[in-house]
Structure 1
Amino acid sequence: MQLFENMGEYGYEQLVMCSDPASGLKAIIAIHDTTLGPACGGTRIWPYATEKEAIQDALRLGRAMTYKSATAGLSLGGGKGVIIADPNTQKTEALLRAYGRFVDTLGGRYLTTTDVGSTGRDLEFISQETEYVVGLPIPLGGSGDTSIMTGLGVYMGMKACARQTWGSDSLRGKRVAMQGFGKVAYHTAQHLLEEDAELFVTDVYDGALNKARDMGVEVVSTDDIYNIPCDIFSPCALGGVLNGDTIPRLSCQIVAGGANNQLLTDADGEDLHRRGILYAPDYLINAGGIINVSAEVGMAYSPDVAREKTERIYEIMEQVIHTSRREEIPTFMAADRLAEDRLASVRGVRHMRRAR
C-alpha cells in the first residue's frame, strides 16, 4: 500500500500510526484538513481483517468529516481515529487510555468522540489521558449522546427533500424503509412516527428489531428492505449500500439516511440522479452529531444552540437541491461543491493574512 499516494489522493495532512504492545493497542489517527479548525471525528473500534483495510477506512471516513463540518458551517476540520479491536471482547481501560495518550501528543490538532464500537464510557477512559475529547456524558460536562441530534438532522433532511419533491414537507402517511435500526435510526423514527409516517425496518440484531416492534413498526428481512414500495429509502447501517446491485431494486423517490458513505462509488450517485431519485448526501443530513459536539468546543455546552444549528440542515439541504437542479448535477456533487467552496474561501483569507 502506497501511504503517501493514498494520503495525496484524499488530500490528507497527517496519518498517525499508534502502537502500545502492553495494552494491545493498534490504532490509526487520520487528520484530513484543519483549514476551518481542529480536526474532529469519532474513534471507530472494529476488528478489521487487515491493517490496510483499517487505514483505508480511516482515510475514507476522515475526509467525509471535513466535508460534513464544512457544509454545516462549523469551525472544525475533519479527522478520524480507528482502533483495530473487537469492541465486545478486546476493549479495555488500558487500551483506551493508551489511545488517549496518543491523541494527546497531537496537541489539539485532533478532537475525538464516539463512533461505531465506542461509547461515552470509553470516552471517560480516554479523557483520563487527554483533554481533547468531546461528547462526554452530560454529567461530566460534555454534550452526551450524539445520536439524538443526528436523528433530528436526518429527519430535517428528509423534510427538506419532501418539500422539494411533493411541494410540502409533511411526512404524514409517507412510507419510509429504514435499513438498520441503531440509535440514529431509532431517534429518526421517533420524529417520523410523531408525523404519522409508515415505517418498515430491518436490522441484523434481534435487540434492534425488538425495539422497532415495541414502537409498532413493521419489521422485514435484510434482503427485502430494498424491494419495499416506499416514498423514502433510509440507509442507517454501514456504508456502500447504494450500488449497482441495490439501486435498480429501489422503489422510492427519495434516499435519505444516517449511514456514512452510502454511495459505493460516485457513479452510483450519478445513477440515482439519472433515475430521478433525490439523494440527500449522507454527510450533510447526518451532521447533527458533529454539530452537537461542536457546541461544547470553546464554550459551555448548550443543547439549544446545538438544536438550532442542527435544524439548519433543512435550509442547507434545500440549497444543495437548488444547485443540483440549476446546474443539472447530482446532489452529492452539489454538496461537495458547497464544502469545497467554503474551504477554498477560508484558505484564501489565510493566504492574504500571511502575505501582509
Structure 2
Amino acid sequence: MSTLDHEQVVIRTGPRSGLPVIVAVHSTALGQAVGGCRLWHYADWRDGLTDALRLSAGMTAKCAMAGLANGGGKTVVAVPAGITLDPGLRRDVLYDVAEAIESTGGRYATGPDVGTTPADMAVIGERTAGVFCKPPHLGGSGDSSPHTATGTLAALRAVCRRIHGTSDLAGRRLAVVGLGRVGERLARLLAAEGAELLVSDIDPGKHALAAELGATWSDPEQAVTAAVDILIPAALGGVLTEQVVPELRCRAVAGPANNQLATPAVADLLHRRDIIWVPDYVVGAGGVIYALTTELHRADDALARVEAIEGTVNDLLHTAERLEVTPAQAALELTRLRLSTARHS
C-alpha cells in the first residue's frame, strides 16, 4: 500500500476481547463519517484492514451520490478462524468497538453490517453516541435491510428502463445471488413485481424460499453466469473478476452487495462487453439513506429519498452515455466534484 487516502485509521487490540478492532475514517468533507460495523472471520487481521479501507471509501461515495451530508467510515472486527463469539465475548467485542469509535472524537458513527444487528448497536450505544440503527424501542430506526431492498428495487427499475424502455419488471429474468437479510427481502419484492427469478445462496436451507416464491434455484457459481436480463449480487463482494466477466450472460449487473468488483479494471471489462454495471454504492444506498435521514438529520421524507435512487441511477446512466464513459467513471467524477466543492466552500 503506497498511499493512504483516509483521514484517520484506528487499529487496536480490544482490551477486553483481545481481537483486532479497526475503525477507518475515510472522509469528513461532507460531514460526520458513517459506516457499518462488520464482525467477520478473517484468515489474517490485515485482510480485515483491507476491507475496512475499501468499504469506508465506498461509504464516502455512497453518501456523496445519495446527496447526504456525511462522509464514509467503517468498523471491522477481524475474528480469527475457529473463534466463536459467545454472548460474553460478543459484548466485550462491542464495548471495544465503542471505545475505538469514541477515540475518533465524534468524527464517525457506526451501524449494523455483516455479522451485526440493531441489538448490537444498542450495546455499542451504551458506551458511545456514535451509533445509529438501534432498535426502534430505543429510539433508533432498527433494521436497515428493508430499506436497502427498497432502494435496490428502485435502482433496478431504472436499469430495466435503460435495457427495455420501460421500468416494468414483470416477466424480466433476474438472478439474485445471496439471500441474506437484504437479498431475501429483495427477492420477495421482485416476485411481487412479477419478475422471473433465479435465486441462489451458499446456505442450502434457502431452497425453501425459492420454492415459496416460485423461483428457480441454482448454486451461486452457476447463478452468476446464468442467462438473465439483470444479475443482482446481494452477498459478499468480489464476485466480478476478470475471469468471470467473459462468462457473463446478462445485460446488466446491479445489486446491493458491497465491493462487487475484484479490481477497478473490471468495470472497463464489463463496459467493453456492453454490460451495464451500476456501482454498488449507488444501488445499495437505501438503508443508509433511510437511517441517516430519520436519525441523524431528523427529516420526515426518508422513504421518498430512498425511492429517489431510481432517478439517481437514471441520471447516472444518462450522464455516462453522454460523456461516453462507464457508469463507474461517471459516479466517481460526480463524487469527486461534490467532495471538492465541499472542501472549498
TM range (shorter): over 0.9
2:84 is equivalent to residue 89 of structure 1: yes
2:190 to 183, 189, 192: 192
From 303, 317, 328, the counterpart of 1:321: 317
Structure 1 residues 326 and 177, CA, compared in 2 at 3 Å: closer, same or farther?
Answer: same
The answer (yes or no) to whether the contact 1:247–1:272 under 8 Å persists in 2 is: yes
Deviation at residue 131 of structure 1 after TM alignment = 1.2
Q: Give the 5 Å matches for 1:102-121.
A: 102-121=100-119
Does residue 64 (structure 1) correspond to residue 58 (structure 2)? The answer is yes
Q: Deviations over 1:181-210 (max 9, x none)?
A: 111111211221121001101110133333
* 2:269 corresponds to: 271
* Distance (whole Å) between structure 1 residues aligned to residue 75 and residue 299 of structure 2: 23
The answer as to 2:308 corresponding to 1:306 is no
1:80 aligns with 2:74: yes
* Separation in structure 2 between the aligned mates of residue 68 and residue 227 of structure 1, nearest angstrom: 27
> Which residue of 1 is the match for residue 147 of structure 2?
149
Calculate the aligned-residue CA RMSD, in Å. Answer: 1.7
Superposed displacement of residue 18, structure 1 = 2.5
Q: Give the TM-score normalised by the residue count of structure 2.
A: 0.94
Determine which of 336, 341, 345 is the counterpart of 2:341: 345
- 1:352 matched to which residue of 2? none
**Aligned AA for 2:255?**
G
Matches within 5 A, 1:326-337: 326-337=322-333
Paired residues of 1:25 and 1:99 also in contact (CA < 8 A): no
* Secondary structure of the corresponding residue to residue 161 of structure 2: helix
Secondary structure in 2 matching 1:102: helix
Q: Distance in 2 between matches of 1:105 and 1:84?
A: 19
Note if 1:207 corresponds to 2:202: no
Closer, same or farther in 2 for the Cα pair 1:298/1:178, shift >3 Å? closer
Q: Classify the secondary structure of the residue corresponding to 2:249.
A: coil
TM-score with structure 1 setting the length: 0.92
- Secondary structure at the aligned position of 1:320 is classed as helix
SS in 1 for 2:36: strand
1:23 pairs with 2:17: yes
Q: 1:25: Cα distance to partner? A: 3.3
Question: What residue in structure 2 maps to residue 354 of structure 1?
Answer: none
Specify the code of the residue in structure 2 equivalent to 1:60.
Answer: R
Q: Per-residue displacement from partner, 1:83-122 (whole Å, max 9, x unpaired)?
A: 1126982252122112212212323211000111111121
Q: CA deviation at 1:286?
A: 0.3
Aligned match of 1:241:
239
Alignment of 1:158-177 (within 5 A): 158-177=156-175
Question: How much identity, in percent, do the aligned residues show?
Answer: 38
User: 1:21 Cα shift?
Assistant: 3.7
- Counterpart in 1 of 2:281? 283
| Structure 1: tracts of 5 or more residues without a match | 350-356
Query: Cα–Cα, structure 1 residues 235 and 299, in superposed 2: closer, same or farther, change >3 Å?
Result: closer
CA separation in 1, counterparts of 2:153 and 2:263?
25
Matches of 1:18 and 1:52 in 2, distance apart? 12
**Aligned-residue offset at 1:179:** 1.2
